[in-house]
Structures are given as C-alpha cells and as structure tokens.
C-alpha cells in the first residue's frame, strides 16, 4: 500500500502500557476485586458458610495486578511502524465513510481505536488477546492487540499490509452498522428468533467484510493499492473463515456453529465490496 509513515491518528487510544492496570483477580476472563473478596470473607465468618467457594475454582491460576503500568520501551519501538500504519488505515477508512454517509442521508461519527496488550476492559466487558480484534458497540471503539498481526502472518499465512488493513476495515464496518442501526436490528432479531441467531451473526459479519471492501474499492480508485494488495486482502479473508479455523483447531468442520462465515463466503463478500464499491451491494441479509 502507498502511504506515508510518521503520524498517529487523533482517534487512536494507546493503552498498551495500561494492560492489567486495574487491581483484581481474573479467572477465565472474569475479574473479582479485592473489595469483593473481603466482603465474601466477612460473610463466611458471619454466616459460617464458605462464600469464598463461589469464586471460580477452575484450573486456571488466578492472576493479580498491582495497578502498576507495564511499559515496554523496546517493544513499543518495534511496534511503532505498525502503530503508524493502523493510524493511517483508521483515518483513511473513516474519512471515506464521512464522504459516503451524506449520500445515504446520514452523518458519520468517528470510532476510536484502542491498542492493548494481553488484556483489556472494554464497554462490552473484559477481553484478552486471544479474543482477536473486536468492535464494541457500547463504547464505539475497536480493540486490537498488535500481536494479532504476527499471528495473521505466521499462523494463518496471510502476510501483507492490505491483509492487516482488511482486519481493521472489517471492524470499522461494524461501526458503520452501528450508526446505520443495522446492529441493533440484528440483535433484536436474535433475541426474538434465537434459532436464527448464528445465521444472523454470519450475515452481519459478511456485511462487515463487504463494507471493508467498499473502503478497499476507494483506495484502489485513489491509486493507494499496489500490485498484490488485493490478493493479500482476499487471502486474509479466506484465512479467517470459520471452516478453516475449525479445521486448524479441531480437524473437522461444523457449519452449524459458524459465526463469521466460511472462507469462500468471506472472500465473496469482501470481493463484492471491492469490485462494486457501494453500500447497496452489501445486503448480506437477503
């Protein structure tokens, strides 16, 4: 991709040094504060019952954060080029949507991008790096641990800047769905028709792929893409298909448990946005 390094987006929130800064015990993503531990201990004494046993007793070892920051200057320096790249993609994607929205009679408002390491508290609850990049509609922020891009390249075999850009553009696609009211309508349908919840989830993810493609189409029109970029992006879409991930992790494929769509579906919808370049082309719910 053609871009100029050297800047950071005003919509970027760098929380990498704050990871795990709030004190508490975590087990399997749940966090129990020290105050809660004290209350349970007092109740155990008063009522002569072991209320502490209510705490998760899984095999995972509880970890405790002292509240100190975890600055890593060497790692910060090594990640800085990537920070500047995601800043570029974030700003370019959001500037594109600011131009598209008025044609639909709507106004775009910017999302924030939060960089974290290992663990983060979002408006949608706690998450770890293993969760992967995600968008939280409650606080309208995209969250990503930059280490995911290493995994995308090494584990999933999808290297290249446009592959990385696709991931972020997909999450911004979810923000577009939130502003347009699509996200809330889908959540309501999932509550009313739970048997169709996963099918609706897949449709929403495929639409986000297509919306990422709409931005990709814009970059091609502006001569930002270079030779091989489109192939890199399509390879990334294929790499994160439910069927491929299931096959890698369990050796078998269970279509009934898909939440994001197969590799073929994700490539199809991302490519649809890339080639047609319009939101109207992205109705994955029909």
Q: For residue range 38-66, what is the model confidence (pLDDT) as tens digits?
A: 444 444 434 444 444 444 444 433 333 43
Q: Which residues contact 2 (CB under 8 A, 6 or more apart)?
A: 223, 224, 225, 226
The residue written with tokens 């009313």 in the block is 192
Question: Angle, to 10 degrees, between the axis of helix 229-239 and the axis of helix 161-180?
Answer: 70
For residues 169 and 232, give the distance between their C-alpha atoms in angstroms, rounded to a whole number: 14
142 lies in some domain: yes
Quick one: 87 and 197 in the same domain?
A: yes
Quick one: 228 and 152 in the same domain?
A: yes
Quick one: 83 and 147 in the same domain?
A: yes
**pLDDT for 31 beyond 70:** no
Element at 80 (helix H, strand E):
helix 73-100
Quick one: 47 and 116 in the same domain?
A: no
Tokens of 51: 């209320």
3 lies in some domain: no
Query: Could you give the angle at the alpha carbon of 85 between the alpha carbons of 79 and 88, nearest 5°?
Result: 145
10 lies in some domain: no
7 lies in some domain: no
Quick one: 35 and 141 in the same domain?
A: no
- What percent of the chain is modeled with pLDDT above 90? 70
266 lies in some domain: yes
Domain limit, last residue, from 44, 65, 86 = 65
Quick one: 157 and 257 in the same domain?
A: yes
Quick one: 41 and 163 in the same domain?
A: no
Domain count, the chain: 2
Per DSSP (E only), the strands in 106-188 are 112-115, 119-122, 125-128, 134-136, 141-144
For residues 219 and 226, give the distance between their C-alpha atoms in angstroms, rounded to a whole number: 10
pLDDT at 69: 53
Least confident of 108-122, 147-161, 261-275: 147-161
The boundaries of the domain holding residue 166 are 70-282
User: Do residues 187 and 204 lie in contact, with contact meaning Cβ atoms separated by under 8 Å?
Assistant: no
User: Do residues 127 and 139 lie in contact, with contact meaning Cβ atoms separated by under 8 Å?
Assistant: no
- Is the pLDDT higher at 26 or at 248? 248
What's the chain's average pLDDT? 85
CA distances from 139 to 134, 178, 212 (A): 12, 11, 20
Quick one: 232 and 275 in the same domain?
A: yes
Quick one: 123 and 214 in the same domain?
A: yes
Length of the chain: 286
User: Do residues 115 and 15 lie in contact, with contact meaning Cβ atoms separated by under 8 Å?
Assistant: yes
Quick one: 82 and 224 in the same domain?
A: yes
Domain limit, last residue, from 9, 42, 65 = 65
Quick one: 187 and 91 in the same domain?
A: yes
In terms of Cα–Cα distance, which of 131, 130, 86 is closest to 112?
Answer: 86
The model carries a pTM of: 0.81
User: Do residues 163 and 233 lie in contact, with contact meaning Cβ atoms separated by under 8 Å?
Assistant: yes
4 lies in some domain: no
11 lies in some domain: no
Least confident of 16-30, 107-121, 174-188, 249-263: 16-30
Q: What is the CA radius of gyration of the chain?
A: 21
For residues 203 and 209, give the distance between their C-alpha atoms in angstroms, rounded to a whole number: 10
For residues 122 and 124, give the distance between their C-alpha atoms in angstroms, rounded to a whole number: 5
**pLDDT for 35 beyond 80:** no
Domain limit, last residue, from 65, 95, 119 = 65
Quick one: 147 and 87 in the same domain?
A: yes
User: Do residues 258 and 176 lie in contact, with contact meaning Cβ atoms separated by under 8 Å?
Assistant: no
Burial of 272 (0-12, 13-18, 19+ CB in 10 A): buried
49 lies in some domain: yes
């Amino acid at each position: 991709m053609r871009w100029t390094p050297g800047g950071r987006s005003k919509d970027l929130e760098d929380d990498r040094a704050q990871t795990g800064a709030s004190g508490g015990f975590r087990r399997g993503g749940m966090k129990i504060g020290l105050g809660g531990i004290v209350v349970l201990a007092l109740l155990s004494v008063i009522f002569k019952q072991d209320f502490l046993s209510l705490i998760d007793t899984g095999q995972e070892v509880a970890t405790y954060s002292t509240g100190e920051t975890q600055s890593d200057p060497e790692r910060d320096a090594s990640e800085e080029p990537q920070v500047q790249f995601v800043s570029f993609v974030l700003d370019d994607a959001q500037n594109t949507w600011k131009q598209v929205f008025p044609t639909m009679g709507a106004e775009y408002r910017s999302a924030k991008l939060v960089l974290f390491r290992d663990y983060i508290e979002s408006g949608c609850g706690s998450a770890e790096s293993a969760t992967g990049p995600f968008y939280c509609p409650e606080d309208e922020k995209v969250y990503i641990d930059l280490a995911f891009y290493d995994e995308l390249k090494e584990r999933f075999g999808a290297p290249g800047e446009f592959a990385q850009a696709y991931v972020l553009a997909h999450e911004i696609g979810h923000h577009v769905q939130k502003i347009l009211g699509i996200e809330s309508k889908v959540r309501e349908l999932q509550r009313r028709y739970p048997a169709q919840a996963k099918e609706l989830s897949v449709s929403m993810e495929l639409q986000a792929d297509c919306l990422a493609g709409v931005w990709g189409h814009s970059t091609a029109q502006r001569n930002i893409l270079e030779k091989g970029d489109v192939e890199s992006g399509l390879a990334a879409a294929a790499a994160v298909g439910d069927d491929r991930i299931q096959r890698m992790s369990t050796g078998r494929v269970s279509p009934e448990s898909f939440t994001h769509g197969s590799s073929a579906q994700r490539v199809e919808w991302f490519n649809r946005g890339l080639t047609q370049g319009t939101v109207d082309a992205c109705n994955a719910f029909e």
